[in-house]
Amino acid sequence: MANEFKAKLLRSLALGTAALTLVACASTPAPVRTPGPSVPVNQPVPMPEQPIEADTPTTPDDTDQVETDVEPDEPVRVTRNGLTPPHMQGRDLKRIGLLLPFSAKSDRLREEANSMLKAAELAIFDREAADIVLVTLDSQGTASGARNAAAVAAKAGVDVILGPVLAGSVRAAANEVRSKNIPVVAFSTDQTVAGRGTYLLSFPPEAEVERIVEYTATTGVTRFAILGPDSAYGRRVAAQYRETVEAVGGTLTAAESYRGDDISVMQGPAQKLAKAFEAQDLATNNQGPMAFEAIMLPEGGTPLRSLAPLLPYFYDGTAEAQFLGTGRWQNEDTAREPALKNGIFAGPDEAPRKAFTDHYDRSYGEDPSALASLAYDAINVGAVIADGNPKSRGKRAEDPIGFYGANGFVRFNPDGTPDRGLAIFQIQNGRYRIIEPAPKTAEDMDAAEPAL
pLDDT in tens, 174-186: 999 999 999 999 9
Mean pLDDT on 9-13: 35
Query: Cα(403)–Cα(411) distance, rounded to whole angstroms?
Result: 6
Shared fold status for 2-202+351-420 and 205-349+423-448: yes
- Range with top average pLDDT, 18-32, 88-102, 187-201: 187-201
pLDDT confidence bin for 284, thresholds 50/70/90:
confident
**Residue 106: strand, helix, or coil:** coil
Return the higher-pLDDT residue of 46 and 437.
Answer: 437
Q: What is the model's pLDDT at position 101?
A: 98
CB 25 within 8 A of CB 60: yes
Nearest Cα to 277, choosing from 254, 246, 307? Answer: 254
CA dist 146 and 168 (Å) reads: 9
User: Over the stretch 64-104, which tens digit does the pLDDT of each residue have?
Assistant: 332 223 333 444 444 446 666 665 555 668 999 999 999 99
Confidence of residue 285 (pLDDT cuts 50, 70, 90): confident
Annotated domain spans of the chain: 2-202+351-420, 205-349+423-448
> How much is the average pLDDT of 332-341?
94
Q: Give the rounded distance of the alpha carbon of 341 from its chain centre.
A: 28
Instruction: Tell me: pLDDT of 165 over 50.
Output: yes
Is 70 exceeded by the pLDDT of residue 371? yes
Residue 52's pLDDT band, with cuts at 50, 70 and 90, is very low
Structure confidence at residue 448 (pLDDT) = 76
pLDDT exceeds 60 at position 152: yes
Q: Given a cut of 90, is residue 120 above it in pLDDT?
A: yes
Task: Identify the pLDDT of residue 452.
Answer: 54
- Coil, helix or strand at residue 226: strand
In three-state secondary structure terms, 334 is: helix
pLDDT at 27: 36
Lowest mean pLDDT among 30-44, 271-285, 429-443: 30-44
E-assigned strand segments in 250-325: 251-258, 294-296, 322-325
Give the integer Cα–Cα distance in Å for 318 and 294.
9
Strand partners, 26: none
Beta bridge partners of 87: none
AA identity, residue 345: F
What average pLDDT does this structure show over 289-306? 96
pLDDT exceeds 50 at position 360: yes
Distance CA 304, CA 313 (A): 15
CATH architecture of the domain with range 2-202+351-420: 3-Layer(aba) Sandwich (3.40)
pLDDT exceeds cutoff 50 at 294: yes
Residue 413's pLDDT is what? 97
Phi, psi angles (nearest 5°) of residue 442: -60, -35
Q: Quick check: 42 pLDDT over 60?
A: no
Residue 152 φ/ψ region, left for φ over 0, alpha for ψ in the -120 to 50 degree band, beta for the rest: alpha
State the CB neighbour count (10 A cutoff) for residue 288.
Answer: 10
The pLDDT value recorded for residue 384 is 97
Beta strand segments in 81-120, E:
82-84, 94-100
pLDDT for 83: 65
CA atoms of 225 and 324, how far apart (whole Å): 10
**Is the separation of the CB atoms in 296 and 237 below 8 Å?**
yes
Report pLDDT digits (tens) over 122-149.
Answer: 999 999 888 999 999 999 999 999 999 9
Q: Given 3-state DSSP classes, what are the helix, strand and coil percentages for the chain, each rounded to the nearest 5? A: 40, 20, 40
What are the distances in angstroms from CA 251 to CA 213, 214, 226, 367? 12, 13, 11, 44
**pLDDT computed for residue 365 by the predictor:** 98
Quick check: 407 pLDDT over 50?
yes
Q: What are residue 118's phi and psi, to 5 degrees?
A: -60, -40
Q: Say which amino acid occupies 428.
A: Q
Instruction: Identify the residue with better confidence: 428 or 17.
Output: 428
What does the alpha-carbon distance between residue 203 and residue 418 come to, in Å, rounded to a whole number?
Answer: 8
Task: Say if CB 170 and CB 198 are below 8 A apart.
Answer: yes
> Does the domain at residues 205-349+423-448 carry the CATH identifier 3.40.50.2300?
yes
The C-alpha atoms of residue 152 and residue 144 are separated, in whole angstroms, by 12
What are the residues whose beta carbons fall under 8 Å from the beta carbon of 406, sequence distance 6 or more?
Answer: 13, 352, 353, 355, 356, 373, 376, 377
**Sorting pLDDT into bands at 50, 70 and 90, what band is 266?**
very high
What average pLDDT does the segment 315-320 reach? 94
Q: Are strands 132-138 and 20-23 parallel, antiparallel or unpaired?
A: parallel
Distance separating alpha carbons of residues 76 and 78, to the nearest angstrom: 7
At 450, the pLDDT band (50, 70, 90 cuts) reads low
pLDDT reported for residue 87:
54
CA pair distance 359, 42, nearest whole angstrom: 22
Mean pLDDT across the chain, nearest whole number?
Answer: 84
In this prediction, residues 211-236 reach a mean pLDDT of 98
From 403, 347, 346, select the one nearest 377 (Cα to Cα): 403
User: What span, in angstroms and rounded, lies between the C-alpha atoms of 101 and 139?
Assistant: 5
